[in-house]
A and B are shown apart, each in its own frame.
Chain A
Amino acid sequence: MKIRLISPRGSTTGDEVVERIFSETKDFQGYIESLTKASSSGLLVIASLTPAEHDVRIIDENCEHIDFNDDCDLVGISAMTQQATRAYEIADEFRRRGRTVVMGGIHATVMPEEAKNHCDSVFIGEAEETWPVFLDDFRKGAMSDYYRSGKPADLTTLPVPRYDLLNKDNYRVIWLQTSRGCPHDCEFCAASRIYGHAYRHKTVEQVIREIRAIQDIWPDARINFSDDNLFVNRKYSRELVAHLRELNIRWFAQTDIAIANDADLLRQMKSAGCTTLLIGFESISERNLQLINANGWKLKKSSTYADAIRTIQSCGIGIVGAFIIGLDEDTEEGLDELAEFIVANNMFMAQISILTPFPGTRLYDRLTVERRILDRPWSDYTGMQVNIQPRLMSVEELQKGFYKIYQRIYDKDARVKTLKHFKDIFKALSCTVENGINNS
């Protein structure tokens, strides 16, 4: 059977102004490209769960064209919300040609009926258990409309994702997932709807096997850990970091600000190849933080932000600060303060997202009731376009405020300041290179 697994084209930013800012500063911040050129980890897992007798190909539309005349038997499409419009176009095109099309991923999980209008079967939730069941049904010609996962997947039983199916030349940064589930309950988060709040992780041995499989293909690959938070279970993450050191890789991970409380782990991470951490600060406004996080965890941490940033950076690890704007307490002045906070703290990069009401989230439900969701296509759900009516600002003010933050944090003065700051840190850190300069 010929199976084609497709990741639809996604938008880098969906916005010309931001595109220009990123393009003009890409020598400084290469992070955005690593995000947009990411392989779809879900499809790699699905491919690994497909019996070897089938001819499976992965098509990443961000990197290659889709051949709609391919005489395949089955098309599987996985999409996030911003890819949904394109995913439906692809699905419709293949179905017009008589192909069977199935859809999964986060958007199909939260909007299954909508997805079903464009495909034969929809996967709701994690597909590790349902994909083999579906393949059996498909072979028998008895597919169901929906395949709903009954329980969280046991990550410890998963095979190595099929990195070998990716076109080697298309990727320089490889994403790897070690865990799923996040204990925090943030109003805007869609990932927790598919993965839940219970934290589950692969074994350290599994992760090492995966990294070695990646290194077999990309010997000098940069690894980006895609986990929402790589350091939820400190015992596990310490063990993992100890092994990463032996693998001689450079890596990036996402976590929360509590990592700053563990200077010893930070030093070990640096020595194990960690270059950058993405940290979800979300906001510097206490009133905003009060609203975002049901358990109040982020609010409690907010007073420690500046010290925590300093601690992390002093270990030679850069921070990509993740912030959300357009929150209910945000004002134009508040956005200016945020830009100055980022610059003042020498944050290496920032990921500024406009509050986006992803379907399936508590935020979506609340803003629907408040009639504040604008009528915009899914392709605008990039986090860089305003899709809501902000509470204390106009739509235009929020969009302009968004541009203004990026213009400020990546202006020449701010960039030079950050570069000098990090050079001083690296000069202060002694013996960071064990096999570098000799006595030439």
Chain B
Amino acid sequence: MKQVKNDALLRESIIRTIAAIARINEKNIDDSVLIREELGIDSIMSLEIVAQIERHYGIAVDEEETLQIKTVGEFIDYVQSKIIHRGRET
């Protein structure tokens, strides 16, 4: 139950970060939306988002890997997997 709540909070937090940096209404962001084509987020904005998330969650994100990510949902899953991986390491 706690894991589900944490997942929801993480999702909400990532979407809020994307919205703030890309200056997009949060309501227009869902898991299926395409980061580049639909949200108009280019690699500069992506890096700003990634840097913010790295700093906050203490994870290391591979810049090149993030370029392969197409949707917001994929990005959330990616960050989640990095957080889990970090948890295992500590």
Which residues of chain A have a CB within 8 Å of any CB of chain B? 27-31, 172-173, 219-222, 248-250, 273, 275-276, 316, 318, 348, 412, 415-416, 419-420, 422-424, 426-427, 432-438, 440
Can you name the residue of chain B whose Cβ is closest to the Cβ of A30? Answer: B42
Partner of A423, one of B22, B39, B42, B50: B50
**Is there contact, CB below 8 Å, between B21 and A432?**
yes
The distance from the CB of A168 to the nearest CB of chain B, in whole angstroms, is 13
The 8 closest A-B pairs by CB, nearest first: A426-B51, A419-B63, A440-B9, A436-B17, A440-B13, A318-B44, A436-B20, A220-B24
The distance from the CB of A209 to the nearest CB of chain B, in whole angstroms, is 19
Can you name the residue of chain A whose Cβ is closest to the Cβ of B22? Answer: A250
B43 located at the interface, meaning its Cβ lies under 8 Å from any Cβ of chain A in the complex: yes
The distance from the CB of A120 to the nearest CB of chain B, in whole angstroms, is 40
B51: chain A residues at CB < 8 Å are 423-424, 426-427
24 inter-chain pairs at a CB distance below 8 angstroms, sorted by A residue, are A27-B36, A28-B43, A28-B67, A172-B40, A220-B22, A220-B25, A220-B28, A250-B40, A273-B23, A275-B44, A276-B44, A416-B64, A419-B67, A420-B63, A422-B44, A424-B51, A426-B47, A427-B55, A433-B21, A436-B13, A437-B53, A437-B56, A438-B13, A440-B10
Q: How far is the CA of A438 from the CA of B15 in the complex (A)?
A: 11
Can you name the residue of chain B whose Cβ is closest to the Cβ of A250? Answer: B23
**Is there contact, CB below 8 Å, between B42 and A435?**
no
Q: How far is the CA of A318 from the CA of B47 in the complex (A)?
A: 11
B68: chain A residues at CB < 8 Å are 27
Q: How far is the CA of A412 from the CA of B68 in the complex (A)?
A: 13
Partner of A30, one of B36, B47, B63: B36
Partner of A219, one of B6, B9, B25, B42: B25
Given known pairs A419-B64, A437-B53, the reply for A316 and B24 (CB within 8 Å) is no
Chain B 1-25 near chain A by CB (<8 Å), digits 1 or 0: 0000010011011001101111111
B22: chain A residues at CB < 8 Å are 220, 250
Can you name the residue of chain A whose Cβ is closest to the Cβ of B68? Answer: A27
Partner of A275, one of B17, B45, B50, B54: B45
Can you name the residue of chain A whose Cβ is closest to the Cβ of B42? Answer: A30
A426: chain B residues at CB < 8 Å are 47-48, 50-52
**Is there contact, CB below 8 Å, between A433 and B17?**
yes
A416: chain B residues at CB < 8 Å are 63-64
A415: chain B residues at CB < 8 Å are 64
Given known pairs A316-B48, A435-B20, the reply for A222 and B13 (CB within 8 Å) is no
B20: chain A residues at CB < 8 Å are 433-436
